[in-house]
Chains A and B, each alone.
Chain A
Amino acid sequence: MAEPTLSVRDLSIVYQARRGQVQAVRNISFDVERGEAVALIGESGSGKTTVGLGLMRLLPATANIIGGSIVYRRYKNGSNSASRETEVLALKGDNLRQFRWRECAMVFQSALNALNPVLRISEHFADTAKAHGYLSGYRQGTALRERSWQLLSMVRLDPERVWRSFPHELSGGMRQRVLIALALLLEPQLLILDEPTTALDILTQRNIMDVLKELRDKLGFSMLFISHDLALAAELADRVATVYAGKIIEVGDVRTIFRRPYHPYTIGLIKAVPTLTSDKSSLVSVPGSPPDLIQLPTGCKFHPRCPLADERSQQEEPALIEVEPGHHVACWHWTHAREALKAYRAET
């Protein structure tokens, strides 16, 4: 099998705050295979957005990548071996600029603010192309327009209407689709999407999800979703990783994670989300709130909220281990977590 497009190993990122160091990302490792869609799910403050920004090297100045590696592999069309391997953390200057957007593009969280309000949509495309030296020189004018229009229609926008518009003339969903088209302009192999459907209406969300599915089938890029929306992950991801207190605590195939989760937090999260078909009595919220990332609890970071926590959980942090092929869990009690939680709920 070909090597993954992206391999993150032991990535750790801290923020410097007045009270101390915020341990936003702690020793995170994961892969994104060629053409695969991976979702990082977790609550706010779990460090998932920091991972995304770290991959793009777009962290604010207060953040510091204190360890780990991010290896990106470029594949040529149709080839099965990586033509180039890049250590993203070592990139500087022009090389970093080329990596961003050409190799790996990001659709940012707040679609409503991510576009420059004084530039027309056409100018956004022109600027992006120019900044990354795409279709330079005499070819730029018409070729760029052709490529952009093609992308805009792929995201189900009417290029004629959108092309000369300013961002404020477009609805939230249209802007989000413009951003997706813009992210795909330089044919990146990896698309990072930070909460791509949050703050959008149901029908608009549906539209964006359908567009993403279609694009992925057509263009074959890999995707990394960062979201707290379990339904989005269930619909679009091939693999799901649960992030808690800056660490991946469970990762596996999307069906495995939703059907047979082993980590009490993943189990709790899935139980906490009402679906259209779920019964009222089956829903339970996860008690407590996420930990303070400056003063992390000892041992397993989930132990203060976990009904299964024992002395060992309080003292030693469990490592992420492979419990079945492709299914990794970081919990001392994974073998009996589901039954024990069921018994616990029956009691209370």
Chain B
Amino acid sequence: MSEPLITLEHVTRTFTVKGQTIKAVDDVNLTIPQGEMLCLVGESGCGKTTTGKMIAGLLPTSAGRILYHGKDIATIAGNDRKAYRLGVQMVHQDPYASLNPTQTIYDILAAPLQHHGFTRGEYETKRRICHLLEIVDLTPPDDFLEKYPHQLSGGQRQRVSVARALTVLPTFIVADEAVSMVDVSIRISLLNMFARLKDEMGVGVLLITHDLALAKYFAWEGRIGVMYLGRLVEIGPARQVVEHPQHPYTQVLLSAIPEADPDATRAKPRVALRSTDMPSLLRLPTGCTFHPRCPVFAGEVCENIVPPLEKANWGSEAACHLVHANES
């Protein structure tokens, strides 16, 4: 196995809200090899975006370390630091807010190229930009150079955001809900574009999403991680997680998703929750944080002991006492 690109070791992030401390991300361990397609899924407030931001270096961790090529990103310095900052790029959710409306597409893409000395002179810059626009399927590139973001559709803007992330030749892109704001008819083509980046340039992608069907499609050969209230509760090969979910929370999520097939969706068996209310992050349940809602709640052990993320069936890891009990 190749050397891991990014490693999260016991990463925790807390925020202080009105004098109270909340744990947005709690003791997450994760190893991401080079060129991996990884999806983090979960409901709002589960910490998936915070995790993404910490990986991209936009938020410091409260405890634990994040390593890039084996070096702690909090203390990394000099050339290594520059390599990290360029190597990990972020594509934000809202393509309407993440591009400067007063700059043309050329300006938006030329700035990082010139600032970091990737290209010299206008001719070379323009050639490189045209190449980038072709990579993200904005063709012919000449039609787009002089356009402003407001002249583009949401999907096209998102492609510009990706092209901007690619200007500095990153090794890893964190895409936070990067397709949830574009129309359903073009989501697939955006995801295929990310897949091509991996094949052609070896760029790994962390896609943060709440859509499990989309995650399965995107991370087909990669992995899906499921987060709940700040903890990673299950992670495994994408198709296995969807077809053979191990953690009861993943099972509940999957059974709740409506399908675009009238017969299948109406006949689907549902796993009911014991409580539909999401606990507040201010008063997290003890033990396994899912226990007040868990359909297979097993009493004391769930209430008192935090289950570790351990190997389960189908190549997945899950954080649940019962999954492990059933195995042994």
Contacts and interface: CB of A to CB of B under 8 A. Distances in A.
A276 interface: yes
**Counting chain A CB atoms within 10 Å of each CB, which of B184, B210, B265, B273 scores highest?**
B184
Interface in A15-46: 43-44
Contacts of A276: 212-213, 216, 242, 254, 257, 259
B184 to A, nearest CB: 6
Interface in A58-81: none
A234 B217 contact: no
Given A274-B213, A275-B213, A280-B217, A205 B256 contact: yes
A156 B266 CA distance: 21
B98 to A, nearest CB: 18
A96 interface: no
Contact of A273 (B210, B260, B264): B260
B183 A228 contact: yes
Interface stretch (B15-23, B120-128, B185-193, B298-306): B185-193
A285 interface: yes
A151 B120 CA distance: 67
B37 to A, nearest CB: 12
Contacts of A286: 185-186
Interface in A269-288: 269-270, 272-278, 280, 283-287
Contact of A289 (B155, B220, B260): B155
A205 B255 CA distance: 12
A154 interface: no
Contacts of A234: 258-262, 265
B276 A235 contact: no
A346 interface: no
Given A283-B217, A284-B188, A290 B258 contact: no
By DSSP majority rule, is chain B's interface helix, strand, loop, or mixed?
helix
B103 interface: no
B217 A43 contact: no
Interface residues of B, number: 40
A285 B185 contact: yes
Contacts of B183: 43-44, 228, 289-290
Interface string B235-263: 00000001000000000111011111111
Given A203-B278, A231-B258, 12 more contacts: A43-B185, A44-B154, A203-B273, A235-B262, A255-B263, A258-B261, A275-B259, A276-B254, A285-B192, A286-B186, A289-B153, A289-B186
Interface of A: 43-44, 156, 171, 201-207, 209, 228-235, 254-255, 258, 268-270, 272-278, 280, 283-287, 289-290
Interface of B: 43-44, 153-156, 183-189, 192, 210, 212-214, 216-217, 220, 242, 252-254, 256-266, 270, 273, 276, 278
24 contacts: A43-B185, A44-B183, A201-B44, A203-B253, A203-B256, A206-B257, A234-B261, A234-B265, A235-B266, A255-B262, A258-B262, A268-B185, A272-B185, A272-B188, A274-B214, A275-B261, A276-B213, A276-B254, A277-B259, A277-B264, A278-B213, A286-B186, A289-B183, A290-B183
